[in-house]
Amino acid sequence: NMKRIHELPIYIVPDCNIHFLEMMQVAKENGTTLPPAALFTIRYHSFYALHNSGAYMYLLNDEDKESLKWLRIFNKYDLYSKSKVRIDVEKVKPYYLSLIDKYFPSKLRW
């Protein structure tokens, strides 16, 4: 369901969720101390055409290309992992809460 526009190799994907872009904006607007590569990962981790197929590489600057390396590492461990090991949420919760405390203010503006 992609539609080609003009003669550029850029496509519009209808009904595309923008929640990852919104998550990145919330992080930035709340003064997160996440590094740029982490924000790039939040924004683009579901953009498989970029990080799996290499599409749109001509649109990336040097910083984006460096961030893409981190995104590819992250992608190995995201929620869609094929691991059969069930995570004990209560056991790992303190670790993830400490990361939230480290990189975000105690109260977020939505």
Helix, strand, coil share (%) of the chain residues, nearest 5: 50, 5, 45
Q: Is residue 109 part of a domain?
A: no
Task: Write out pLDDT tens, residues 60-104.
Answer: 899 999 999 999 998 887 765 666 778 888 999 999 999 999 999
Compute the distance between CA of residue 2 and CA of residue 10 in angstroms, rounded to an integer: 10
Does the annotation list 19 as a binding residue? no
Output the pTM of the full model: 0.72
Domains: count for the chain: 1
Instruction: State the residue range of the domain holding 31.
Output: 3-103
Q: Is residue 39 part of a domain?
A: yes
Does the annotation list 6 as a binding residue? no
Cα-to-chain-centroid distance, residue 74: 9
Q: Is residue 108 part of a domain?
A: no
Task: Write out pLDDT tens, residues 14-54.
Answer: 445 566 778 888 899 999 999 999 999 988 888 888 888 88
Compute the distance between CA of residue 60 and CA of residue 62 in angstroms, rounded to an integer: 7
